[in-house]
Structure 1
Amino acid sequence: MSHGPSLFDLPFPDSPDLDLERRHAASFNGALCGVDEAGRGPWAGPVVTAAVVLDYDNVPDRLNDSKKLSEARREELFDKIVASAHVCAASASPETIDALNIRSATLSAMVRAVNGLAIIPDYVLVDGRDVPRGLKQPGQALVKGDERCLCVAAASIIAKVTRDRMMVRLEDHVPGYGFAQHKGYGVPQHQAALADLGPSDHHRMSFKPVHLART
């Protein structure tokens, strides 16, 4: 179920407000869900999405947008979020990204992440400008939601850490590209590896730099 601006939309300030978010969650029986993604831009690997329903009486300290945190702090918060919240992650493979396009693959994975939660959320907050089609509950897109909303920030951490771990493991199966270091992003090291080795089965062939390296 997709919504544009409506009476459902919840106001959020420019930075997280625990008391406000707790009140919003209470109005939805505590089942307020944040959704975010990691890995839309890389040339290789999956895009990973996450859905999180926080326990607002047990929110980890210094929870924030994953992009503002060190790797060590993200890992620490990941464990605390998983221990205290309802969490589900879902991914879309490079093949799916190539078949659907990155936007559609990401939105589809977001729906699967929400549907995979052990608790059924009553309202969904999605980082960005799109509410995925196929959600069973009302929701709204929240630009810079990972900077403004704690449950979206938590989802950003789950998605980021999950994807980073996947890319580190992928390095063991496909050595030479440096996936453990750059996580599939288009850095010079990755560009040089593509030129030397050509694309792997884990690259997104529809992305221009990969397509050019293939030809």
Structure 2
Amino acid sequence: MTMNKRDVGSLPLFQTPQGANAPFPDFPFDAKSVPDLQFENYLHAQGFNSIAGTDEAGRGPLAGPVVAAAVILPLGAQIDGLNDSKKLSIAKRNILFDVVMDVALAVAVTSISAETIDRTDIRKASLEAMRRSIMRLGVVPDFVLADGRDIPPALPSHMQAKALVKGDGRSMTVAAAAIVAKVTRDRMMAQIGLENEGYGLEKHMGYGSAQHRAKIENKGGITRIHRFSFRPLRKDDFS
């Protein structure tokens, strides 16, 4: 995967559909606030009609895929209780997942396997999952809001994008994508855990809990499930 200047960081200017260069707004952010539609409303006012949010779940675990989602919400959509997925209970995330799936104009989800993560790296795998999700949307977006510091690579030239640090706490569209990605991955890990007993994957979702690390030390990792490029699974960590 080739990264270029357009893919990294946040672009200070973007081009409106009318061809004018416009500065991207830097709305104030308070970690105690909830995501809203400030970015989406601004972009709609500049002439963009289909705005996608994208985010991933599962960058840090020792096992399982990284999962990304892309979501397009209707203009002015309001989803009560939507927030950074890490601040919500499992029950609340599941409820919001159903709401997003019902309200959204388009949703797409992509998973990248542990084997692929090991062949590339987690950053590249995460961005590729986001890119594929964007490209699989049933409605073609003309602007993408991506959580984090990087824009997914190799997007079509007509599709502009902006990276938003802590985007899932600032943009309702990104927060919706984060919920879909997180719930989808958790459900995948629950199934993987049932099929691979003893590691507790259905409980900790592949993260490095004490139980999980102890099991890895005693039994090693599971082929195609664990990320063998991650510590403590890397061979040089056992030498």
**SS of structure 1 residue aligned to 2:78:** coil
Task: Give 2:91's aligned residue.
Answer: 72
Q: d(CA) in 1 for partners of 2:183 and 2:166?
A: 19
- Which residue of the other structure, out of 206, 221, 225, is the alignment partner of 1:184? 206
One-letter amino acid of the structure 1 residue matched with residue 94 of structure 2: E
- What are the Cα deviations for residues 61-108 of structure 1, in whole angstroms up to 9, with x where unaligned? 121110111110100000010111111111110010000111111111
1:148-163 mapped onto 2 (5 Å cutoff): 148-163=170-185
Q: d(CA) in 2 for partners of 1:214 and 1:93?
A: 23
Q: d(CA) in 1 for partners of 2:233 and 2:221?
A: 6
Task: Give 1:207's aligned residue.
Answer: 230
One-letter amino acid of the structure 1 residue matched with residue 228 of structure 2: M
Task: Give 1:34's aligned residue.
Answer: 53
Cα deviation for residue 19 of structure 1 reads 5.6
**SS of structure 2 residue aligned to 1:96:** helix
RMSD: 1.8
Runs (4+) of structure 1 exceeding 6 A deviation are none
Q: d(CA) in 1 for partners of 2:125 and 2:90?
A: 26
Task: Give 1:143's aligned residue.
Answer: 165
Count of aligned pairs: 215
The answer to whether the Cα contact below 8 Å between 2:55 and 2:177 also exists between their aligned partners in 1 is yes
> Kindly tell me: are residues 2 and 10 of structure 1, through their superposed partners in 2, closer, same or farther at Cα, counting changes over 3 Å?
farther
**Structure with the higher fraction of residues in helix conformation:** 1
Q: d(CA) in 2 for partners of 1:144 and 1:10?
A: 15
1:112-123 mapped onto 2 (5 Å cutoff): 112-123=132-143
Whether 1:17 and 2:39 are equivalent positions in the alignment is no
Using the aligned pairs only, state the percent identity: 48
| Structure with the greater alpha carbon radius of gyration | 2
- What are the Cα deviations for residues 159-189 of structure 1, in whole angstroms up to 9, with x where unaligned? 1000000000001111110001000000101
**Structure 1 regions of 5+ residues with no counterpart?**
none
- What are the Cα deviations for residues 101-142 of structure 1, in whole angstroms up to 9, with x where unaligned? 111111111110000100000101111100121112110111
Cα deviation for residue 59 of structure 1 reads 2.7
